[in-house]
Structure 1
Amino acid sequence: MSFSIAVSGASGYAGGEVLRLLAGHPDVEIGAVTAHSSAGERLGTLQPHLVPLADRLISDTTAENLVGHDVVVLALPHGASGALAAQLGEDTLVIDAAADHRLESSHAWESFYGSAHQGTWPYGLPELPGQRELLVGARRIAVAGCYPTTVLLGLAPAFAAGLVEPEDVVVVAATGTSGAGRATKPHLLGSEVMGGMSPYGVGGVHRHTPEIEQGLSRASGEQVRVSFTPTLAPMPRGILATSTARLAPGASAQSLREAYAAQYDDERFVHLLPEGQWPTTKQVVGSNHLMLQLAVDERAGRLVVCSAADNLTKGTAGGAVQSMNLALGLPEAAGLGQLGVSP
């Protein structure tokens, strides 16, 4: 059986990445590709790498152009998904790649996003404890954010096993420029970015902070507070997160490694690297894989986890396709066989 799928935001980085993965999916048929300002243009003009889809005309992103598909992926700016999703029937699987339906707390949403909360959907990060079962048969899915994907998969096993403390969690993560979307921004010009790194969203104001705290609190069973500082790196895609947390009494390097192995040894896309090997963004470019490594800083009494993922693939489009497969009863890895690119 083939499922028809429409992709909104097809002219952007996230929408283009969704289409790249779907073009190799054995069980879907790509239907409408939509956007707003680029409606009427050939998809190949904006996404020339999507050769099989290059002659498709981009339609306007309206409910009328999206209805009638088995699956609709909304790769839209934050705040734009809720009203559109409300016009799509409950028999349609709607996958929101934006943040509109990720948070459980309306207060957190309103504080960080400044608009009315649109409700909470099942969270599209299957490797989190207990999450995969919630996605099977779901009709609405909120794909995890790129930073939260990389940080949560890096820290969740330690919290779930009670091996770290919920206070004093610190995350510093670097991402490529594609994380800011495709719109032209002066500070993202090549001449501004190349050859240097810069922080942004400093002081606990980045919008992914409450999503990270929500996921770690679920894993821990108690409230977790996170100090999160993102940085911009001179690369087009990828995230490298360094996450640290204070060790709980009795925790050791051995018990932590055993907890991570128990969580991830049977996972297809999350990999605890052999001791002494550290993740790099280069290992995961273009793939749905996440690499991680851990160490214990005995002097500081802290767990240190380094995790690397492609922000557009595992951090967005890959998470969408993986969650879609679970919701539709397809093999979870369908359409996600791409490995990283080297050099």
Structure 2
Amino acid sequence: MTISVAVSGASGYAGGEVLRLLASHPSVTIGAITAHSSAGSRLGELQPHLHALGDRLLEETTVDNLAGHEVVFLALPHGASADLAARLPAGTLVIDAGADHRLSDPLAWQKFYGTAHAGTWPYGLPELPGHRDRLRGARRIAVPGCYPTSSLLALAPGFAAGLLQPDDVVIVAASGTSGAGKSTQPHLLGSEVLGGMSPYGVGGGHRHTPEIEQGLSLAAGTQVQVSFTPTLAPMARGILTTATAKVVPGTTAEQLRDAWIAAYDDEPFVTVLPAGQWPATKAVLGSNYTNLQLALDEHAGRVIVTCVIDNLTKGTAGGAIQSMNIALGLPETQGLTLQGVAP
């Protein structure tokens, strides 16, 4: 079985990561590789690490260039996917790495993004309860944001098991600079980032907040309220998320650990580390794997979960390809078994 795949936004970090993984996927043939302002350039000029694809020329991102493929990955800025996706054939598997189709609440979309809501697609995080079934046979998939991926993986098991209270969830996450995309921005220059950390989107204004609340609320079966603060770390890629929530009175550390292990014991890409071992971003660098650890703060009556992912792999491209595999009936881990890189 060979599947023809097109990738848009190939000059950016997300599109480049999709191509890196697809290049070693045994069931895929890479067709059109497209971009906007970089159309006509040789891919190797912009993505020199993609050796096998370096001589390919970037085409314009148009419906004509993308149509005719069995799978289309849209690695485009937020707001750029919806119109293009609407004009692609209904039988094409379209996987949107942008935010356009993640939220189910039109009011939340309009509040945080300021445009008309484009609709809701099946959510590409199969580790959440019930989501894997929704991906099987799907022809439209919304890839989660990188922060929501780590935040939801961190806390969903506790809410699904009824062990956490929904009204006081606090999440602080540190991300590498690649999460902001590849366009030149002064605050992301090496001289600005190296040697320090800084917060942004403080005060509930980050666009991933409603996405995190949406996923946790589905797991809990009731509305979950989240205070989310992202921070910028002096590294190229990776996310370290520390998520806390009040536990239901009487909940023990053993009950918490049992719930997380039960949720992830059969998951190929999520590991609850042995007691006493805490996650580090370098352990998952370049991989689709997630490491996490949890503890009960008995004094505060809260669970603390630390979760690490690579924001470009599990947080974007790896999650997209994992979802593609499920939708097409391929082995879920196919093309995604690369281990982390160290040192």
Structure 1 segment 75-86 matched on structure 2, within 5 A: 75-86=75-86
Q: Which string of whole-angstrom CA distances, capped at 9 and with x for unpartnered residues, describes residues 163-190 of structure 1?
A: 0100110000000000000000000000
**Distance in 1 (alpha carbons) for counterparts of 2:214 and 2:246:** 18
In the alignment, what sits opposite 2:335?
Answer: 335
Q: Which position in structure 1 is the counterpart of 2:223?
A: 223
Shift of 1:249: 2.1
TM-score, normalised via structure 1 length: 1.00
Residue matched to 2:311: 311
Counterparts of 1:271-286 in structure 2, within 5 Å, are: 271-286=271-286
Partner of 1:65: 65
Residue number in structure 2 paired with 1:116: 116
SS at match of 1:116: coil
Q: Distance in 2 between matches of 1:91 and 1:168?
A: 42
What amino acid maps onto 1:202 in structure 2?
V
d(CA) in 2 for partners of 1:286 and 1:57? 25
Aligned partner of residue 296 in structure 1, secondary structure: strand
Other-structure match for 1:323: 323
Q: Which residue does the alignment assign to 2:214? A: 214
Residue 341 of structure 2: SS of its match in structure 1? coil
Cα deviation for residue 134 of structure 1 reads 0.5
Gapped runs of 5+ residues in structure 2?
Answer: none
Provide the rounded CA distance (Å) in 1 between the counterparts of 2:122 and 2:236. 30
Secondary structure at the aligned position of 2:31 is classed as strand
Determine whether 1:5 maps to 2:5: yes
- Structure 1 residue 250, shift from structure 2 partner: 2.4
User: How do residues 96-115 of structure 1 correspond to structure 2 at under 5 angstroms?
Assistant: 96-115=96-115
SS at match of 1:123: coil
For the residue of structure 2 that corresponds to 1:124, the secondary structure is coil
Counting only pairs closer than 5 Å after superposition, residues 172-183 of structure 1 correspond to structure 2 as: 172-183=172-183
d(CA) in 2 for partners of 1:118, 1:159 = 29
Give the Cα–Cα distance (whole angstroms) in 2 for the partners of residues 104 and 280 of structure 1.
33
Instruction: Give ranges in structure 1 of 5+ residues lacking alignment.
Output: none
> Given residue 208 of structure 2, which amino acid in structure 1 is its aligned partner?
H
AA aligned to 2:109 is W
1:265-292 per-residue CA deviation (whole Å, 9 max, x = no partner) reads 1110000000000001000000000000
Match in the other structure for 1:239: 239
CA–CA separation in structure 1 for the residues paired with 2:342 and 2:55:
30
Distance 2:319 2:126 in 1: 8
Paired with 1:317 and 1:216, the residues of 2 have a C-alpha distance of: 22
The code of the aligned residue for 2:134 comes to L
- After TM superposition, what 4+ stretches of structure 1 lie above 6 angstroms from structure 2? none
Does 100-109 or 245-254 show the bigger shift? Answer: 245-254
Q: CA deviation at 1:252?
A: 1.1
Partners of 2:146 and 2:250 lie apart in 1 by: 32
1:162 is matched with which residue?
162
SS in 2 for 1:271: strand
**CA distance in 1: counterparts of 2:188 and 2:132, whole angstroms:** 36
Which residue identity lines up with residue 237 of structure 1 in the other structure? R
CA RMSD across the alignment: 0.4
Overall identity of the aligned pairs, in %: 71
Report the 3-state secondary structure (helix = DSSP H, G, I; strand = E; otherwise coil) of the residue aligned with 2:231: strand
